[in-house]
Amino acid sequence: MEIEQLDQTGINLIKGFEGCVLHPYLDQVKIPTIGIGMTYYPSSGKKVTMQDAALTQQQADSEFLLLLKPYCLAVYSTTRDNLTQNQFNALVSLTYNIGMGGFKGSTVHRLVNANVTGQQLKSAFLMWNKADGKVLNDLVKRRTKEYNTYINQII
């Protein structure tokens, strides 16, 4: 059966990387962000601004679940049909962080669809380790964990 949605492990994977901040803040590249890594509110389409009111945890979780839908669809609709749940979770986590266009044009996407694994795929995940042109240790850790999740070595 083709995987179309994150399971709780996948949701927790992304939440673990993104964290949750209930008030607006500037992310590492100075983009207004709120909740679980959201730069806009999926319920309204409105961009986050630094003047926005704080969210409740329930609002943050609700907006996050709405926001996940297009990322799941981007992975589901453009990758091979025999992904495992862990592979799907890892790819949605990557896509949530680098964007749908970034994912669809990535070497990771191409290698996944060619069913390539090993060092070549790991290197492709690790290419996405920069923000604002600088290698960030947090992104190296995230990509490594996403790759390990993809190959079913959850750490």
Per-residue model confidence (pLDDT) at position 131:
87
Q: Report how far residue 104's alpha carbon sits from residue 153's, in angstroms, rounded to the nearest whole number.
A: 24
Q: Is 18 a catalytic residue?
A: yes
In a domain, 1, yes or no: no
Per-residue model confidence (pLDDT) at position 122:
97
Per-residue model confidence (pLDDT) at position 76:
97
Into how many domains does the chain fold? 1
pLDDT of residue 155 exceeding 60: no
pLDDT of residue 8 exceeding 60: yes
- Average pLDDT for residues 29-47, to the nearest whole number? 96
- Average pLDDT for residues 24-50, to the nearest whole number? 96
Per-residue model confidence (pLDDT) at position 1:
76
In a domain, 22, yes or no: yes
Average pLDDT value for the chain: 95
Q: Is 119 strand, coil or helix? A: helix
In a domain, 155, yes or no: no
Structure tokens at 17: 């990387």
Per-residue model confidence (pLDDT) at position 96:
97
In a domain, 3, yes or no: no
In a domain, 2, yes or no: no
Which pTM does this prediction carry? 0.94
The catalytic residue among 2, 18, 63, 146 is: 18
- Average pLDDT for residues 10-26, to the nearest whole number? 97
Structure tokens at 80: 């091979």
- Domain membership of residue 38 as a residue range: 8-150
- Average pLDDT for residues 16-28, to the nearest whole number? 95
Those residues whose C-beta lies under 8 Å from the C-beta of residue 28, and which sit 6 or more positions away, are 131, 132, 136
Q: State the maximum Cα–Cα separation within the chain, in Å, rounded to a whole number.
A: 46
In a domain, 116, yes or no: yes
Q: Report how far residue 20's alpha carbon sits from residue 135's, in angstroms, rounded to the nearest whole number.
A: 23
Specify the CATH number for the domain of residue 89. 1.10.530.40
Model confidence pLDDT, tens digit, residues 79-121: 999 999 999 999 999 999 999 999 999 999 999 999 999 999 9
Per-residue model confidence (pLDDT) at position 154:
59
Q: Closest Cα to residue 143, out of 74, 133, 104, 131?
A: 131
